[in-house]
Amino acid sequence: GQQLNQSPQSMFIQEGEDVSMNCTSSSIFNTWLWYKQDPGEGPVLLIALYKAGELTSNGRLTAQFGITRKDSFLNISASIPSDVGIYFCAGHPPNTGNQFYFGTGTSLTVIP
């Protein structure tokens, strides 16, 4: 099955810094989703994107659906310790029924 290329694989940042991560695919997607997973828990949906070029915010989080429909970006501003976790992107290609494809995750560590 298709896997999305997510980068960076891990990040270590100081509290208060901004964070950027991205996800790319070799084929176009109709939907991009961003999730956060805490250790030992299921992923929680942060932001959903449905149109090319769409820019959506959720508090300090902002995500964009790339114009080419083959990528998406997630930015976190003014990071805080509770932002620690693994962030996954997920995509929904056209004509694949209800299947979702997931990135390999970005592990974020925030140093107080």
Partner 1 sequence: DGGITQSPKYLFRKEGQNVTLSCEQNLNHDAMYWYRQDPGQGLRLIYYSQIVNDFQKGDIAEGYSVSREKKESFPLTVTSAQKNPTAFYLCASSIDRHTPLQAAEAFFGQGTRLTVV
Residues that bind partner 1 in the complex, under the rule CB under 8 A: 1, 3, 6, 30-31, 33, 35, 40-45, 48, 50, 88, 90, 92, 97-100, 102-105
Closest to 36 in 3D by CA, of 100, 98, 108: 108
CB of 78 to partner 1, least distance (A): 26
CB of 84 to partner 1, least distance (A): 16
CB 52 within 8 A of CB 69: yes
Instruction: Decide whether 59 or 97 has the Cβ nearer to partner 1.
Output: 97
Instruction: Decide whether 36 or 64 has the Cβ nearer to partner 1.
Output: 36
Count CB neighbours of 19 within 10 A: 20
The tally of CA atoms less than 13 A away on the side-chain side of residue 55 is: 2
Instruction: Decide whether 48 or 84 has the Cβ nearer to partner 1.
Output: 48
Instruction: Decide whether 57 or 80 has the Cβ nearer to partner 1.
Output: 57
First to last CA, the chain: 39
